[in-house]
C-alpha cells in the first residue's frame, strides 16, 4: 500500500509525519506490525534534540516510552522496514532493516524532514534468522558516540532516546533489551541503490534517484544530467565527511556500502572508536582481520563505495553503457583531489594555519610521521600544541620534533596573527576530550549494572569537547 500522510495532533507528542518514502515502489520497504515489549521505560533522553525537533520534550519523556520502544505507534506512523543490499567486507549481500522500524518522517516547524527510526525494535522480514532485538549496552554506545560526533561538528545521525524494553535477550549470555530512537536526514544508503540495481527494474533505480534528489539535493534537479550531478554531490559530501573523521582520529570500523549514506551523515556505530596512539593501521573491528577498514584505509574505502554507487546509477546516467561509464569515471576520478582539499583544510586549521601555503602538506605529513614513529597520542598531541604545552614524552623531546616546530613557527609568522591568536584558533578545533574507548566501555558497564553516573558525566563533557 502506498500512502502519504501528514499528521499533527496535540496528543502526538509533537510528531508530524509525512511518509514520502512510501511513495516509492513497494520493493523498497515492507510494512510490519509493531513488536510488543514487556515494560518499556526510557533510560536516557536527549532533551536538546527533542527541542530541536519541536517535539513536546516533557510529555515524550514522561509518557512516550511505549512509542519509543515500538510497543505502540504515534498517529500517522509509517511502520516500515526498509530494504537494501550492500557489500560487507567486499562481499555482496541482500540486507535490509533486520532490527529496525522506520516509524515516519517527522517534519519540524521550519519544514526540515527527519527519519525517526527505532533500532532494536524486533524481527522484520529482513532479520535473516535474528531476533531483531538489541541489548542495552550497544544502544547506549551509539547514543554517546553519535552525540560526541555531533558536538565535534561531524555530520551524523543522532539519538533521541534509549528505552529499556523489560525483556531479556540472549547473545552469549542474557542481556537487558533496549531500543534506540535514531534521528537521520534519511536512511538512504549506497546499498539502497545497489539493491534497486540488482533486484529492480530501470524504473526503480530512476524512482529512487529522483527521490534522493528531491529529498536531499533539489538544487541539482535542473542540471544537464541530474544523475551525474547526484553522483558528484554525494562524492563531495562523503569526501568532506571522511576528511572530518580523519582529522579527529575517528575509525568507523565497518565501512560497508550499506553504512554509507547519500546524505553524507555518519551512520551505524558498531565497532567504532577514536584512535589513541596515532597508527594508520589501527582497526576497531574484531572481524576485520585484514585491516580493510583500518584508519589509514578509510579514504580509499570511501572511493571504493562510491564506485559501487556509480555502478548502480549507470543505466540512468546514459542509455549508452560506454558513455555512462565515461561520465561516471570522470566524476570518480575527482575523489582524491576533492578529499585531499577537505582533509588538508581540516588539518591546517588544527595547526592554526588559516590560508594555504606551499609547504603546508609537507608540514602536516611530517608531523604525522613523527607522531606515528614516537607512538604519540593523536588527540593529546594536537591539544598540547594548541595549549602551548610540551609534555615530557618521546615526541616532544625528540630533536626531530624541535626541528619541525621551528618550521611550524616560521609558517605561523607568515600570517597576520599573533601566536596567541593562532593558539586560540587551534583550541577551538582541537578537542580536549574525546570518547576514549576504555572509558566509554566502563561507563556503559556501570550503567548496565545500575549506576548511570559516569555515563551521564561523560555525556555532559563530550557535548562540549
Split at pLDDT 50, 70, 90, the class of 129 is confident
Residue matched to cell numbers 591546517: 348
pLDDT of residue 8 exceeding 70, the answer is no
Contact assessment for residue 24 and residue 211, using Cβ atoms and an 8 Å cutoff: yes
- Counting Cα atoms < 13 Å in the Cβ hemisphere of 30 gives 17
Split at pLDDT 50, 70, 90, the class of 4 is very low
Contacts for 449-458: CB closer than 8 Å, 24+ residues apart: 452/43, 452/44, 455/44, 455/140, 455/144, 458/144
Please indicate whether residue 258 is annotated as part of the active site. Answer: yes
What pLDDT does 10 receive? 47
Least confident segment among 1-5, 105-109, 179-183, 448-452: 1-5
Tens of pLDDT, residues 194-235? 999 999 999 999 999 999 999 999 999 999 999 999 999 999
Tens of pLDDT, residues 327-379? 999 999 999 999 999 999 999 999 999 889 999 999 999 999 999 999 999 99
- 376 torsion bin: left (phi>0), alpha (psi -120 to 50), beta (else): beta
Q: Which of 56, 258, 276, 377 is catalytic?
A: 258
Contact assessment for residue 245 and residue 152, using Cβ atoms and an 8 Å cutoff: no
What pLDDT does 390 receive? 93
Mean pLDDT score of the chain: 94
Contact assessment for residue 29 and residue 82, using Cβ atoms and an 8 Å cutoff: yes
Give percent above pLDDT 70 in the chain: 98
Model pTM score: 0.94
Tens of pLDDT, residues 275-324? 999 999 999 877 888 889 999 999 999 999 999 999 999 999 999 999 99
What pLDDT does 417 receive? 86
What pLDDT does 270 receive? 86
Average pLDDT of the residues in 229-252: 98
The torsion of the CA quartet 54, 59, 62, 67, rounded to 10 degrees, works out to -70
What pLDDT does 290 receive? 86
What pLDDT does 11 receive? 62
What pLDDT does 41 receive? 97
Closest CA to 87 of 250, 315, 288, 255: 255
Tens of pLDDT, residues 203-212? 999 999 999 9
What pLDDT does 62 receive? 94
Residue matched to cell numbers 530494504: 83
Tens of pLDDT, residues 31-78? 998 899 999 999 999 999 999 999 999 999 999 999 999 999 999 999
Give percent above pLDDT 90 in the chain: 91
What pLDDT does 125 receive? 94
What pLDDT does 3 receive? 45
* H/E stretch holding 86: strand 85-88
Amino acid at each position: 500500500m502506498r500512502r502519504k500522510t501528514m499528521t499533527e495532533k496535540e496528543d502526538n507528542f509533537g510528531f508530524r509525519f509525512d511518509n514520502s518514502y512510501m511513495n516509492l515502489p513497494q520493493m523498497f520497504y515492507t510494512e510490519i506490525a509493531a513488536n510488543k515489549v514487556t515494560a518499556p521505560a526510557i533510560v536516557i533522553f536527549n532533551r536538546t534534540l527533542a527541542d530541536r525537533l519541536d517535539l513536546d520534550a516533557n510529555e515524550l519523556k514522561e509518557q512516550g516510552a511505549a512509542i519509543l520502544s515500538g510497543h505502540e505507534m504515534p498517529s500517522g506512523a509509517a511502520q516500515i522496514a526498509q530494504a537494501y543490499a550492500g557489500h560487507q567486507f567486499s562481499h555482496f549481500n541482500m540486507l535490509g532493516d533486520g532490527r529496525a522500524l522506520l516509524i515516519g518522517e517527522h517534519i519540524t516547524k521550519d519544514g526540515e524532514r527527519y527519519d525517526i527510526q527505532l533500532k532494536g525494535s524486533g524481527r522484520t522480514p529482513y532479520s535473516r534468522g535474528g531476533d531483531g532485538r538489541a541489548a542495552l549496552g550497544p544502544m547506549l554506545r551509539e547514543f554517546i558516540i553519535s552525540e560526541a560526533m555531533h558536538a565535534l561538528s561531524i555530520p551524523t545521525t543522532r539519538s533521541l532516546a534509549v528505552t529499556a524494553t523489560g525483556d531479556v535477550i540472549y547473545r552469549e549470555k542474557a542481556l537487558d533489551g533496549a531500543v534506540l530512537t535514531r534521528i537521520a536526514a534519511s536512511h538512504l544508503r549506497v546499498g539502497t541503490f545497489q539493491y534497486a540495481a540488482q533486484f529492480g527494474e530501470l524504473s526503480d533505480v530512476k524512482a529512487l534517484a529522483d527521490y534522493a534528489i528531491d529529498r536531499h539535493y533539489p538544487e541539482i534537479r535542473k542540471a544537464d544530467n541530474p544523475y551525474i550531478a547526484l553522483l558528484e554531490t554525494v562524492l563531495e559530501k562523503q569526501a568532506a565527511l571522511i576528511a572530518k573523521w580523519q582529522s579527529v582520529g575517528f575509525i568507523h570500523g565497518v565501512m560497508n556500502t550499506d553504512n554509507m549514506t547519500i546524505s553524507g551523515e555518519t551512520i551505524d556505530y558498531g565497532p567504532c572508536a577514536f584512535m589513541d596512539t596515532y597508527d594508520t593501521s589501527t582497526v576497531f573491528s574484531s572481524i576485520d582481520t585484514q585491516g580493510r577498514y583500518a584508519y589509514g584505509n578509510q579514504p580509499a574505502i570511501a572511493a571504493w563505495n562510491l564506485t559501487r554507487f556509480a555502478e548502480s546509477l549507470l543505466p540512468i546516467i546514459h542509455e549508452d553503457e560506454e558513455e555512462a561509464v565515461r561520465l561516471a569515471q570522470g566524476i570518480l576520478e575527482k575523489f582524491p583531489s576533492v578529499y585531499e582539499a577537505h582533509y588538508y583544510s581540516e588539518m591546517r586549521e588544527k595547526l592554526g594555519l588559516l590560508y594555504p601555503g606551499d609547504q603546508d602538506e609537507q608540514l602536516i605529513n611530517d608531523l604525522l610521521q613523527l607522531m606515528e614513529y614516537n607512538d604519540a597520542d593523536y588527540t593529546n598531541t594536537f591539544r598540547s600544541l594548541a595549549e602551548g604545552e610540551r609534555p615530557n614524552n618521546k615526541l616532544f623531546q625528540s630533536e626531530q620534533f624541535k626541528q619541525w616546530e621551528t618550521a611550524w613557527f616560521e609558517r605561523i609568522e607568515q600570517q597576520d596573527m599573533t601566536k596567541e591568536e593562532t593558539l586560540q584558533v587551534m583550541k577551538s578545533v582541537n578537542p580536549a576530550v574525546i570518547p576514549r574507548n576504555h572509558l566509554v566501555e566502563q561507563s556503559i558497564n556501570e550503567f548496565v549494572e545500575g549506576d548511570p553516573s559516569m555515563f551521564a558525566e561523560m555525556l555532559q563533557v563530550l557535548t562540549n569537547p
